[in-house]
Amino acid sequence: MKKRSFLLLVFLLSTSISLDCALKPNRGKYLFILLQDAQQGTWHHAIGGIGTRVVPMTPGRQEVLRVWDFYSPKYDLIFATVIPVSDGSKVTFTRYVMKNDYIPREETAELFFPYKEQAHYSFFDIGTITGFYRESATDLDQPPSRH
């Protein structure tokens, strides 16, 4: 009985913590992406991993992620091309990666991030990506403005 109570308490606490960490609703037209690493124990973590990071996205091409191993030829480079559209942003991600098998690869993903919701996708084999909109970079953790 005590074990069940403990497990229930752990479940309730983890649920409330994850809800507290949830992003506030979209506001504004500036796209940000939240990358979350789900690959515990992979070479990403051995060389620093990506952990959790927020990347501001601007129209055009930009670097999103750069991870490499100083002592071997393993790397993971991700670039994005952002195209604003009337109801959000279309983003094409291009990944250049060489992992433990030492075979270089190029991978692409085309994702849509609408203004009306926070789209959440699997992101290559790295983890997840969530797109959200804010008024500016200083608006990331501020309550929405009242108009």
For 36-53, how does the pLDDT look when each residue is reduced to its tens digit (9 = 90+)? 887 654 545 444 556 788
pTM score: 0.74
Tell me the domain boundaries of the chain.
Answer: 27-137
- Please state, in angstroms and rounded to a whole number, the distance separating the CA atoms of residues 49 and 99: 13
Q: Are 96 and 77 in contact (CB under 8 A)?
A: yes
- Please state, in angstroms and rounded to a whole number, the distance separating the CA atoms of residues 65 and 48: 12
Residues 6+ positions from 79 with CB-CB distance below 8 Å: 61, 62, 63, 64, 93, 94
H helical segments located in 55-117: none
For 84-105, how does the pLDDT look when each residue is reduced to its tens digit (9 = 90+)? 999 999 999 999 999 888 899 9
**Which tokens sit at 109?**
């993903």
| Stretches in the chain below the pLDDT threshold 50 | 1-20, 41, 43, 45-47, 147
